[in-house]
Amino acid sequence: MSQKKLEPEDWDFRSIRAGEERSAAIWEYARESQTLREGSSLENLPPTREVKWLRKLRFIFGNAYLKKPWIAASNEWRMDLPNRIKREREQFLNAVGSEGREKMAEMLEKARPMSVDDPIQVSDELAAATVLYGFLDLDRRSGRELIEIDLTANKKDVLAEVAKIFDARQRTLGIESRGRGKDKPNDWLARLKWLGTLRRRGVHTTRVIAQMRIEDGERGSLETIEREVRREVKKARETFKELFPFIPSEELAR
C-alpha cells in the first residue's frame, strides 16, 4: 500500500469488531504485498492456512478484495449485505425451474442469511494440522490419533493446532486440559497494532510516533515508548514473514 497518505483506519485497529480480529489481521498484512493484492495469484501460491484464508476473504469481498482497509471494506460490505442477499436469492430462484420455485422460495424464507451484526470470519477448518478422520478405524481406546500436518505452514501454527487436537482428545477421555493461550483474539489484535506502528513509521520518525502515543494517553517515558515502537516495527516484519514466508521481503520495504 502507498505510504504517501495514511488514514486512521490504516493504523488504528481499536474499532475492529469482536470476532473479526484474525480476518482483519490476515487482510491487513496481505495488503502490504503486491503479490497478494493480485487475487489471481492466490491459486499459484503454496496452499498454506493463510493463503486459504485469503481465498475465503476474496470470495466474500469479490472485487473489493484488499482494495481498502479492513474497517472501511467490512463496513461497506455490511451496508450492501441486504441488497446482496436479495440479489442472490433472486438469481437462485431464477435458476430453479418454475415447478420448484415456490417450494424453494419457502425454503429460502426459512433460511437464516448472514446478518450485518455477524462477524466476518475465516473458518477454523482451515487449520495447519487436522485429524485424519479417514483412518480413525484404529482402536480409539489406544489414546492415539493420526494427524495430517501442512508442511508449508508456520511451525508455531502447526504446534498450536496439534495442541488444540490434543486438548480435544483429552476431553473425550475425561482428562482435564490446562488449555493454551495461542491464537486468541488479543494475539491477532497485537499483530494489528504492530502493523499499524510499522505503517506509521513509514511516515513519521520513531520519536514523533512516541510523542503522539503519549498525547493519545499511553503511559511511560518518551524513551520507553520509543523502544516499544522499535520493538513493534520489528515484530510486524517478523509476523509478515511468518504469515507469508514465500513472499519476497522487499514487498514489506519500509
pLDDT in tens, 114-129: 666 778 887 665 555 5
Q: pLDDT at residue 1 above 60?
A: no
Q: How many angstroms separate the CA atoms of 42 and 40, rounded?
A: 5
Q: How many angstroms separate the CA atoms of 27 and 16, rounded?
A: 12
Q: pLDDT at residue 86 above 70?
A: yes
Q: Residue 140 has what pLDDT?
A: 43
Q: pLDDT at residue 67 above 90?
A: yes
Q: pLDDT at residue 58 above 50?
A: yes
Percent of residues, the chain, with pLDDT higher than 70:
70
> What is the chain's mean pLDDT, rounded?
80
Tens-place pLDDT, residues 155-189 = 888 888 888 877 777 666 555 544 444 568 889 99
Q: pLDDT at residue 63 above 80?
A: yes
> Mean pLDDT throughout 104-121?
66
Q: Residue 244 has what pLDDT?
A: 92
- What's the gap between Cα 56 and its chain centre? 10
Q: Residue 178 has what pLDDT?
A: 46
For CA atoms 207, 209, 210, 216, the dihedral sign is positive
Of the pLDDT bands very low, low, confident and very high (cuts 50, 70, 90), residue 233 is very high
The angle that helices 185-201 and 222-243 make with each other, rounded to 10 degrees, is: 110
Q: Which of 90-99, 117-126, 222-231 has the lowest mean pLDDT?
A: 90-99
The angle that helices 21-30 and 49-61 make with each other, rounded to 10 degrees, is: 90
Q: Residue 117 has what pLDDT?
A: 76
Contact by Cβ (8 Å): 46, 31: no
Parallel, antiparallel or unpaired: strands 147-149 and 129-131: antiparallel
Q: pLDDT at residue 148 above 70?
A: yes
Tens-place pLDDT, residues 5-41 = 789 999 999 999 999 999 999 999 999 999 999 888 8
Q: Residue 54 has what pLDDT?
A: 94
Paired with 148 in beta bridges are 130
Show the 3-state SS of the chain.
CCCCCCCHHHHCCCCCCCCCHHHHHHHHHHCCCHHHHCHHHHHHCCCCHHHHHHHHHHHHHHHHCCCCCHHHHHHHHHHHHHHHHHHHHHHHHHCCCHHHHHHHHHHHHHCCCCCCCCCCCCCCCCCCEEECHHHCCCCHHHCCCCEEECCCCCHHHHHHHHHHHHHHHHHHCCCCCCCCCCCCHHHHHHHHHHHHHHHHHCCCCHHHHHHHHHHCCCCCCHHHHHHHHHHHHHHHHHHHHHHCCCCCHHHHCC
Q: Residue 179 has what pLDDT?
A: 42
Q: How many angstroms separate the CA atoms of 232 and 17, rounded?
A: 22
Q: Amino acid identity of 232?
A: E
